[in-house]
Structure 1
Amino acid sequence: MIVLDLFSGAGGLSEGFLRVGSTFVGHVEVDSYACKTLKTRTAYWNLKKENKLEIYNKYLLGAISTKELWELSNITNSEDVINEAISDKTFPKIIKTINKNLKLKNIKKVDVIIGGPPCQAYSVIGRARMKDAVVNDPRNFLYKYYVKFLEKYKPKMFIFENVMGLKTAGNGEYYRSLKKALDKAGYHIEENIMYANDYGVLQSRKRIIIVGWKKDKRRKNYPFPEFEKIKLDYDITVNDVLKDLPITYPGNKIEGKDLYAKETNKYLKFANIRSDDFNILTQHETRPHNEIDREIYREAITAWNNNKERLNYSELAERRPDLITHKNTKTFTNRFNVIKADEKASHTILAHIAMDGHYYIHPDIKQLRSLSIREAARLQSFPDDFYFEGPRTSIFRQIGNAVPPKMAEQIAKKIKDLI
């Protein structure tokens, strides 16, 4: 498949399509750190095709620089990753770059467009945080550019992914306008809700997936694709994603060769997170926490482990006033949440993980910390050889905004069959 990726983020959706052999003619993304991540991952795939992953492994071990990695993988002069905010001003420039990529790769047309505009303006949490400002947020209207790309390249199909709030934002007006614009552009659409834990991801994450087909007078039916769900024939819990990583503490980073605490396991191999022969740990990095927060984490972990109860901040204020640092104890009382290691799926990894770790407390009471970068990435089904570029806050945001690669892979397999 020839694919164009819009609003790419760190490339979770792209990763799924790359696994089925797709060729990309562009990844368009506004965030500069996410673009660096996309370039580094492109380097990985280029080197993998050439059986030169020893170069990539040198990068993971810090033996070569990012610049050297990009040069050795032939992406220094590549324009596949387009770091631009999509707007009326930049649209012609982006089209020119994509057309140049098509020509260089001797490709005549795009088969599939994938991606979804930033979801902050559509998400319920984002609307609550932004309040009245959400009405004038320009991100509400980025779907119009998605349609412009469809009109320009006329792909056979497209995949549009977004949060559940897409349908209710602006009292549903944005969604109604989107459907009208897609119909006018010549596409029949079908939508469905996809749950990540149906597709091999140990996370309770649900998203709206809109699938579009170029209208064909010879065709009568356009059923929503039956993406193959994954039913594991063995018991698995969230702990299986975490237990081979070494114990750590707040504000620490563990990276290097032969640093895993245990051998890989059946699930990690199945999900393409860690293979038998991969032994380089990167980005097992935690944010710092003060002692009050760590004591609250102890309370939260104890409440879950002993009674399967979630810590309530207002109740904590009555019982342990010495731990209360927020004046508001009546709203957002669920601000502390433990990753449920003994369940089959964690709660959703959101971009908010970049703000603080209180909603993503590691279940081990000996560690009293929030998730590391690598642990959050694993719960999103990113492989351990996927390296995120940028500072810790940006990386957490990239992870929280991403489509889980394992789910994306199931989408890509079916779309490839249909194409």
Structure 2
Amino acid sequence: MKVIDFFSGCGGVSEGLRQAGFDITIGLDFDKKAAETYQANFPEAQFYNVDIRKLDEIELAKTFKQKNINNDPLILVACAPCQPFSKQNKAKSEDDIRRTLLDETHRFIKVLDPDYIFVENVPGLQKIDKDKDGPYKRFVEFLSTQGYKFVEFIAQAEEYGVPQRRKRFVLLASKLAEIQIPPKTHGEGLLPIATVRDYISEFPVIKAGDINPEDIWHRSPSLNDLNLERIRHTPEGGDRRDWPDHLINECHKTHSGHMDTYGRMSWNLPAPTLTTKCHSYSNGRFGHPDIKQDRAISMREASRLQTFPKNFIFKGSIAEVSRQIGNAVPCEMAKQFGLSILKHFEEVKNNNGKD
């Protein structure tokens, strides 16, 4: 099965689908450094580092036809930027041009006629503008006119093998037959929930500001003296409630929320949701769980908590790579969805054969 990955970022979905056995055929993203990362890891794919609004659907369809000489089935991935719809984005606006990027996929779907469509975004996307003509409402109405059956659900990443508490909205569509929510793989009665220990305990000890000579992305930003003192007072799984009073910011002394900031992870639990600032100790519970390592998690550790392979190549500065990792769909979750789609396709094929 072939994959066209729109808004691919650094390639979380593509990596997961590749592991499930898909053929990564075309990728597209506007971000230059994310594009460099993608191309380094998927050299077999045709890549478009352009604004989707400037890409001609007929041109792309011709390219895909040349690469799909066996007329294999196609899944189109459209994980448009989530920032315009995120609760974390306090400055979001209806004028944000990213809000309408999902609309751009309509013309490509018409021309390519994919067998499957995969959309992932922040929970709540499906509720935004539900009473008026919003981008998601337009999208699902368009899918219906094109003959797609689809299912919408909230996916908990840890229930699909990801060592991270990450809640996402997912739509899976099929033109072949009714489609179901992919079965959970981890949790009660299933495989044990993956933990931080499972994914990052093997990495060599480093200090804040160090770069491991054997892996340039096993690196963590330096910390100033104040933050070093803060993290030294923070136990595994702890946060600013464990500090002496003189280390607490004045604004936090009367504020009981946002306890994840300046926190350490716990070894035996999933990580918190990794954000685009997961390299920053002050921006979340991104402190290393080992009390002998007074630092934020390294970029390689962050990528592993998103279930990227250990040898995945990243391009850019530490802030750019942190953004790529935080924006990515966890590979393992995408893999499980991919396996479910392949099973669906085989069932449809077998049922048609019986007819």
Query: Which range, TM-score by smaller chain?
Result: 0.7 to 0.9
Aligned counterpart for 1:247 among listed residues 186, 189, 205: 205
Query: Is 387-396 or 350-359 further displaced after alignment?
Result: 350-359
| Aligned match of 2:264 | 338
Instruction: Report the CA distance shift for 1:107/1:347 in structure 2 as closer, same or farther (over 3 A).
Output: same
CA–CA distance in structure 2, aligned partners of residues 378 and 371 of structure 1: 11
Aligned with 2:225 (options 272, 291, 296): 291
Amino acid at match of 1:415: I
TM-superposed CA distance for 1:107, in Å, is 5.2
Contact 1:135 1:170 in 2 (8 A): no
Could you say which residue in structure 1 is the equivalent of 2:112?
A: 153
Question: Whole-Å Cα distance in 2 between the matches of residues 145 and 235 of structure 1?
Answer: 37
- Deviation digits for residues 86-140 of structure 1, max 9, x if unmatched? 11xx131x641452243155354762101310001111102x2x1xx52211111
Mapping for residues 365-404 of structure 1, pairs under 5 Å: 365-404=291-330
Partner of 2:97: 138
- Tell me the alpha carbon deviations over residues 139-187 of structure 1, each in whole angstroms, 9 at most, x when there is no partner: 1111111222211211111111111131343566533333223223332
> CA offset at residue 309 of structure 1?
5.3
Q: Distance in 2 between matches of 1:109 and 1:234?
A: 36
- In the other structure, the counterpart of 1:213 is 174
Identity, in percent, stands at: 27
In structure 2, relative to structure 1, the CA distance for the partners of 1:172 and 1:210 (3 Å cut) is farther
Deviations 1:4-48 (A, max 9, x none): 1111011111111112332233101111111111111114xx6xx
1:398-419 CA-to-partner distances (Å, cap 9, x unmatched) read 1111111111111111112222
Residue of 105, 109, 121 corresponding to 2:84: 121
Aligned to 1:38: 38
Alignment coverage as a number of residue pairs: 339
Gaps of 5+ in 2: 346-355
Q: Displacement, 1:376?
A: 0.3
**Aligned equivalent of 1:3:** 3
The one-letter code matched in structure 2 to 1:102 is K
The answer to whether the 8 A contact 2:281-2:295 is kept is no
User: Counterparts of 2:283 and 2:297 in 1: how far apart (Å)?
Assistant: 9
Is the CA contact (8 Å cut-off) linking 2:78 and 2:119 kept in structure 1? Answer: yes
| TM-score (ref. length: structure 2) | 0.86
5+ residue gaps in structure 1? 47-78, 257-280
Judge conservation of contact 1:20–1:413 (CA < 8 Å) in 2. Answer: yes
Structure 1 CA distance for aligned equivalents of residues 103 and 326 of structure 2: 24
Of 262, 267, 273, 1:348 maps to 273
Q: Which whole-Å CA distance do the structure 2 matches of 1:86 and 1:142 have between them? A: 8
Q: Contact 2:205–2:293 (CA<8 Å) still a contact in 1?
A: yes
- Say whether the 8 Å CA contact 1:252–1:287 is kept in structure 2: yes
Residues 30-109 of structure 1: pairs in structure 2 closer than 5 A: 30-43=30-43, 80-87=46-53, 90-92=54-56, 95-106=58-69, 108=71
- TM-score, with length taken from structure 1: 0.73
Query: How many Å separate the matches in 1 of 2:191 and 2:80?
Result: 36
